[in-house]
Amino acid sequence: MLESWPAVALLLGAALVAVSRGQVRMLIMLAAPLLGAWGVYQLEPGTVIEFQMMGLQLTPVRVDKLSILFGYLFHLAAFIGVVYSLHIKDRMQDVAALAYAGSAVGAVFAGDLLTLFVFWELLAVTSVFLVLARRSKHSLSTGMRYLVMQVGSGVLLLAGAIWYASAGNGLTFDYIGLDAPGGWLIFIAFGIKAGFPLLHSWLTDAYPEATPTGTVFLSAFTTKVAIYSLARGFPGTDVLIVIGTVMACFPIFFAVIENDLRRVLAYSLINQLGFMVVGIGIGTQLALNGAVAHAFTDVIFKGLLMMSMGAVLHVTGEMRGSELGGLYKKMPKTAILCMVGAASISAFPLFSGFVSKSMVVAAAIHEGHTVVWLALLFAAAGVFHHAGIKIPFFAFFAHDSRYVDTAHEPPVNMLVAMSLGALLCVGIGSFPGLLYSLLPYDTGFWPYDVSHVLSQLQLLAFSALAFTWLKLAGIYPPELKSVHLDVDWVYRRWVPQAIQTALERLAPVDRSLRDKSLALVDATLSMLARHHGSYGLLARSWPTGSMVIWVAVMLGLSLALYYA
């Protein structure tokens, strides 16, 4: 069974990395995703591995076109991430990264909800070490908040799965729907990891606090497993259209005013997830193809942008847009690769984002969702502003920062990994047929017709003009040296302040209760001293004769009561 289990190569690789070092560890890390991808290639759609355990029918492996697509994606992302991180010598990060990728692969091939839950929780446990690996007080607190949300998602999934199975539906992981017993619990569990509005703050909180290499892995797996799970369990769920539309639009406003450039990319990630969620909610073959295709391209172009910002952080130690700028002079290769990622996420024709995002937008208008279509156009223009222009502009251009004199290109392995990502962005965008052949449905969609290309170019042109005008007019929000919170303000500011205020108001009551308790204790001790102290009544010495009389009296009373 192990040879047919797609996750085994990555998980075994993580175990071997834990006990190896030097060149051997490097070779294992490079080989694990390649061997895993070869294993996925050997799988045939329809392959199923099942067994009985404690009366439960479990399916740890279920192979179809959807799971194969994500299997290839996760092994590809793992390989690029490994190449990007070859320069670091941190056993904890190396083990966590491979185990994290293996958990994601195990989740997308899981055929039952119990197996999905196991890998769902492994995703949480392994990924948190990529945040903790920064080894700072801030990363520790951030990692704990992240872990609470991730484990909480697993608890909801387990509760929903138990409820679903106890109603006679079994544990098979296929279409579930909101009307099923436990359906809402499973839906919310998926929604937490997908970054639904009001449930998204773990993403913008934790991802920017991870290590430069850790963020690349984090951006690839957790949210995409959630997208896969929604596509599997809740396709055609109308509420997802509304949720996805909100997800695509609201991060734009936060990303524009955010100073930390990796946090900008975290908001941009939620924006791109919104397109996928809309596609799943529409539920047609074209829309589902668009959702999973955009998940595929997003991992690559978002990974490329995260890698470029990680390179900047590695070289300068700084990630605030207000403190960066002018780095193109010393980091031209990184700047060019970053702009390839920016063009891809902005859906320029001939770049990967165009061939996937256009499917979701086309499906929305085909199904008569005009308002949603307009909102997605707004979101597409917005992402060009904050990710397509803002990221490269403030990091590499804008003005000369104090880091220009000492800046340099990052290590060769980082440049190689970014180059691989850039080649994929251009290759998929220019030749989308290979990606389309992996999609679940054959819809005959082709993105390069006159209407699609012209409408997208017009959208990008007017968006660029808007950015230029806002900058020249001094209206564009400046990069402020500040910490920006959104929903996490509730538990990072309001809740601690509310607890502090409550403690301050309860302090007089607490003091009064303490004083009264001490007074009661003192009175009790005084009473006991009067009776049992060295001069107390019960501490006196009594004559033997008196004691004999009292014993006789007690014995007589006992006999009288016994024979009464």
pLDDT at 228: 97
CA-based nearest residue to 232, from 124, 111, 58:
111
pLDDT digits (tens, 9 = 90+) for 171-204: 999 999 999 999 999 999 999 999 999 898 899 9
Q: Helix count (H) and strand count (E) of the chain?
A: 23, 2
Tokens 């990710």 belong to which residue? 387
At residue 465, the 3 state secondary structure works out as: helix
**Single-letter amino acid code for the residue at 142:** T
pLDDT at 479: 62
Q: What is the mean pLDDT of residues 63-86?
A: 95
Mean pLDDT of the chain: 89
Prediction pTM value: 0.86
pLDDT at 547: 67
Whether 375 has a pLDDT exceeding 60, the answer reads yes
**CA 397, CA 116: separation in Å to the nearest integer?**
45
Q: What is the mean pLDDT of residues 51-69?
A: 86
Q: What is the mean pLDDT of residues 526-530?
A: 73
Structure tokens at 344: 């891809």
What lies within 8 Å, CB to CB, of 203 at 6+ separation is 195, 223, 266, 269, 270
Whether 1 has a pLDDT exceeding 80, the answer reads no
The half-sphere exposure of 61 on its side-chain side, counting CA atoms within 13 A, is: 20
pLDDT band at 97 (very low <50, low <70, confident <90, very high): very high
CA-based nearest residue to 291, from 69, 541, 58:
69
The half-sphere exposure of 317 on its side-chain side, counting CA atoms within 13 A, is: 3
CA-based nearest residue to 75, from 48, 25, 39, 122:
39
pLDDT at 487: 72
